[in-house]
């Protein structure tokens, strides 16, 4: 403070400690002397708001209002008048324009009002704090929440459209569930990569590897430059690669061991890119007799989403698809580039002749999402299991561990808490378990446990088959 005296009982050491505390907290102090109508500004406050230290006219509190952002002046004046009339303290935040460099900063001003015998304000002693960083962080958080809300709604709308369109072109419930689950997984893979890059873009090679690595690792080849796509284009390409891969597994090159799929991509002169999918070594190919949703998705939806076009040539020697995308689909290289997804083993699915049998087994379900827990309970019960639980919280799961359990299905995260204590307890009892999780760990099971992982969204038959496999080997 420019003028300060050591008060009664206050030592020089205490004064020094106060000075150091204010400095450490990044605070500047001031005094408003009503009798003399001046602000006494400390060097620390002067450094924060960009004015000279010392005394400056208060003008009834309006002396520094010219430095307040025009949009905040009226609100600040109202708050100040109300506090002076009714309270013994005040606390306000507003934008301040530094006169020395013109920067706009957010400041917090707080103080204690000392009143005279007549009840009128005699002085105010207070502090000033630069809260620009916190304010900017709050704004970023609000922007992120709004962006997240927008993305979630887009994802839900996409999932709804996929469900409706898949249902319209599917003749049986099992076929619908299989086709719909596959498309959901393609979207999940793309979103996992986008999340790792903070939604700034996803690499084409990562998208292709995520879709093809688990299908036929030795029958596919990928080649092209590092190329990143916008979130919209990444989702579109992921779905397109999924449709091509499913057709190749059912009818094309990946339906036989001698077949091969070659995926190549490159930039175009206009800033877009082109990707070619070439199948060889498979059975003889002919154009499909019926146009399903997969074909519609490829030929109409994918092209529009990529601001380009898709051409599919059903040559006798193998399908050849060419996807062209406009420059709008290409994203700059993100600051955070995730590692390439680790090759994942094919996920266990139920045998074609029926669901896995869990007859007589006691299976613990630990899942915090109620709908998923109910789906697991129904599916495992239909497979013959006696369900223990479901447990939705960590404490519920731990309390169920004293019951007879043959196997368990664990969600990795229970309302923000790790399921590790449950997994450790099961491991000590030599009870096998499978993780059914939405987390995209590339390095194996969560927590480093030696356990199968089924990644959400999943088909319930995958979980039942994984549990059956555990019981068969335990």
Cβ contacts of 260 within 8 Å, gap of 6 or more: 219, 220, 221, 253, 279, 280, 281
Question: Which pLDDT band, with edges at 50, 70 and 90, does 96 fall under?
Answer: very high
Return the CATH architecture of domain 362-473: 3-Layer(aba) Sandwich (3.40)
Sheet of strand 453-455: strand arrangement: 386-391, 362-366, 407-410, 433-437, 453-455
Cβ contacts of 88 within 8 Å, gap of 6 or more: 112, 113, 115
pLDDT of 191 over the 80 cut: no
Return the CATH architecture of domain 12-130: 2-Layer Sandwich (3.30)
CA 201/CA 355 separation, integer angstroms: 38
Query: What is the pTM for the complete model shown?
Result: 0.52
CA 89/CA 110 separation, integer angstroms: 7
CA 465/CA 349 separation, integer angstroms: 6
CA 389/CA 380 separation, integer angstroms: 12
Helices 231-250 and 204-212: angle between axes, nearest 10 degrees: 30
Q: Start-end ranges of CATH 3.40.50.2300 in the chain? A: 362-473
Annotate 58-93 with DSSP letters as a single string.
-GGGTTTGGGB-HHHHHHHHHHHHHHHHH-SEEEEE
Structure tokens at 243: 């449709």
Q: Quick check: 178 and 293 in contact, CB under 8 A? A: no
Cα 296 to chain centroid distance, Å, stands at 30
pLDDT of 376 over the 90 cut: no
Structure tokens at 263: 């995926």
Q: Start-end ranges of CATH 3.30.565.10 in the chain? A: 141-331
CATH class of 141-331: alpha beta
pLDDT of 349 over the 70 cut: no
Query: Long-range CB contacts (< 8 A, 24+ apart) of 297-306?
Result: 297/165, 297/239, 297/240, 297/243, 298/240, 298/243, 298/244, 301/236, 301/239, 302/236, 302/237, 302/239, 302/240, 305/232, 305/233, 305/235, 305/236, 306/233, 306/236, 306/237
Question: Which pLDDT band, with edges at 50, 70 and 90, does 3 fall under?
Answer: very low
Q: Quick check: 231 and 155 in contact, CB under 8 A? A: no
Tokens 């924060």 locate to 48
Q: Start-end ranges of CATH 3.30.450.20 in the chain? A: 12-130
Cβ contacts of 318 within 8 Å, gap of 6 or more: 252, 253, 259, 278, 279, 280, 281, 282, 285
Q: What is the mean pLDDT of the chain?
A: 82
Q: Using one digit for the tens of pLDDT, what is the confidence trace for 5-52? A: 444 455 666 667 777 777 777 788 999 999 999 999 999 999 999 999
Q: Using one digit for the tens of pLDDT, what is the confidence trace for 253-293? A: 988 889 999 999 999 999 999 999 999 999 998 887 766 66
């Amino acid at each position: 403070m420019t003028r300060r005296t050591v008060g009664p009982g206050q030592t020089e050491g205490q004064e020094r400690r106060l000075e150091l505390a204010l400095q450490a907290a990044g605070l500047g102090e001031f005094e408003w002397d009503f009798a003399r109508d001046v602000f006494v500004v400390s060097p620390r406050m002067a450094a924060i708001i960009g004015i000279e230290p010392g005394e400056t006219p208060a003008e009834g509190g309006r002396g520094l209002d010219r430095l307040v952002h025009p949009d905040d002046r009226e609100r600040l004046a109202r708050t100040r008048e109300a506090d002076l009339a009714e309270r013994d303290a005040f606390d306000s935040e507003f934008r301040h324009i530094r006169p020395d460099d013109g920067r706009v900063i957010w400041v917090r001003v707080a103080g204690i009002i000392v009143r005279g015998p007549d009840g009128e304000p005699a002085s105010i002693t207070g502090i000033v704090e630069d809260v620009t960083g916190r304010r900017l962080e709050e704004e970023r958080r609000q922007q992120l929440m709004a962006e997240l809300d927008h993305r979630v709604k887009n994802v839900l709308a996409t999932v709804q459209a996929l469900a409706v369109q898949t249902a319209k072109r599917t003749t049986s419930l099992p076929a619908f569930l299989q086709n719909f689950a596959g498309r959901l997984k393609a979207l999940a893979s793309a979103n996992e990569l986008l999340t790792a890059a903070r939604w700034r873009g996803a690499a084409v090679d990562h998208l292709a590897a995520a879709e093809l690595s688990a299908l036929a690792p030795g029958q596919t080849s990928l080649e092209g430059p590092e190329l990143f796509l916008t979130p919209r284009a990444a989702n579109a390409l992921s779905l397109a690669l999924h449709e091509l891969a499913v057709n190749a597994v059912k009818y094309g090159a990946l339906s036989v061991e001698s077949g091969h799929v070659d995926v190549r991509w490159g930039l175009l002169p206009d800033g877009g890119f082109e990707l070619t999918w070439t199948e060889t070594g498979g059975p003889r190919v002919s154009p499909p007799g019926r146009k399903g949703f997969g074909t519609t998705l490829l030929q109409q939806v994918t092209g529009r989403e990529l601001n380009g076009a898709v051409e599919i040539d059903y040559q006798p020697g193998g399908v050849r698809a060419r996807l062209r995308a406009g420059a709008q689909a290409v994203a700059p290289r993100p600051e955070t580039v995730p590692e390439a997804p680790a090759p994942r083993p094919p996920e266990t699915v139920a045998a074609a002749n029926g669901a896995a049998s869990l007859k007589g087994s006691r299976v613990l379900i630990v899942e915090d999402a109620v709908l998923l827990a109910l789906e697991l309970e129904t599916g495992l019960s239909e497979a013959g299991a006696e369900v223990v639980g479901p447990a939705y919280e960590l404490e519920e799961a731990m309390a169920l561990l004293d019951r007879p359990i043959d196997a368990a299905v664990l969600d990795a995260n229970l309302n923000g808490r790790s399921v590790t204590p449950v997994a450790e307890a099961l491991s000590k009892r030599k009870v096998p378990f499978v993780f059914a999780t939405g987390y995209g760990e590339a390095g194996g099971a969560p927590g480093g446990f030696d356990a199968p992982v089924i990644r959400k969204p999943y088909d319930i038959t995958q979980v039942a088959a994984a549990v059956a496999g555990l019981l068969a080997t335990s």
